Structures are given as C-alpha cells and as structure tokens.
Amino acid sequence: MEQSIIDFLSGLSKSITEGFIEHGGIGNSIGEGIEKLRKKLFITAVAISLAATGFFLTLWGIASAIDAIFAMQGLGFVLIGLIGVLTGALIYKK
C-alpha cells in the first residue's frame, strides 16, 4: 500500500515537472527549479537519515558497553533511553 502511494506521488510530481517543461518559456525555469529542489531534498533526507542511524548506533554501543561492564541485564539501555528522553525534553523546551 505504501509503495503504491509513493509511486503515485512520484509519478504525479514527474508529470507536473514534464508539463512545466513542455509548455516552454517560464515553465523551463520552473521545471528546472523543481527538479533541483527534488534532488537537494533527496540528498538532505539521505544525509539526515545516515546521521540519525549513526547517532542511534552510537547510543546502542554505549548502552551495550554499560550493560557489559556492570552486568546490568538490560538496564544500561533503559538508562541511555532516559538520558535521550531528558535531552530531547530539554531541547524541546528551548
């Protein structure tokens, strides 16, 4: 279901872009602008997802190390989670 929605939206945006390009004149600049924006947005989304994955894996490693060192049987993950929640709350307050 999700893939069909993504395919529909992708096709819709491509057809709109092609429509702008076919009509010429100002449409070319609009079509090129939309295409550049799509590429920039995609690159930004990939960069954010990679950074978030790295951050998550770092926290997971820290939690695993705490668990292994102190034999906490999963409590290290809870502690790291609480620190993450508190940090998120502090950032949200600002």
What's phi and psi for 78, nearest 5 deg? Answer: -65, -45
What's phi and psi for 72, nearest 5 deg? Answer: -90, -5
pTM of structure: 0.48
pLDDT, averaged in runs of 10, over the chain (94 residues): 73 73 61 80 86 84 83 79 81 74
Closest CA to 65 of 55, 73, 76, 57: 76
Domain housing 38: 2-93
Q: How many domains does the chain have?
A: 1
Instruction: Report the pLDDT value the prediction gives residue 1, as an integer from 0 to 100.
Output: 62
Describe the crossing of helices 75-93 and 26-70 by its angle, rounded to 10 degrees: 140
Rounded Cα distance, 25 and 15, in Å: 17
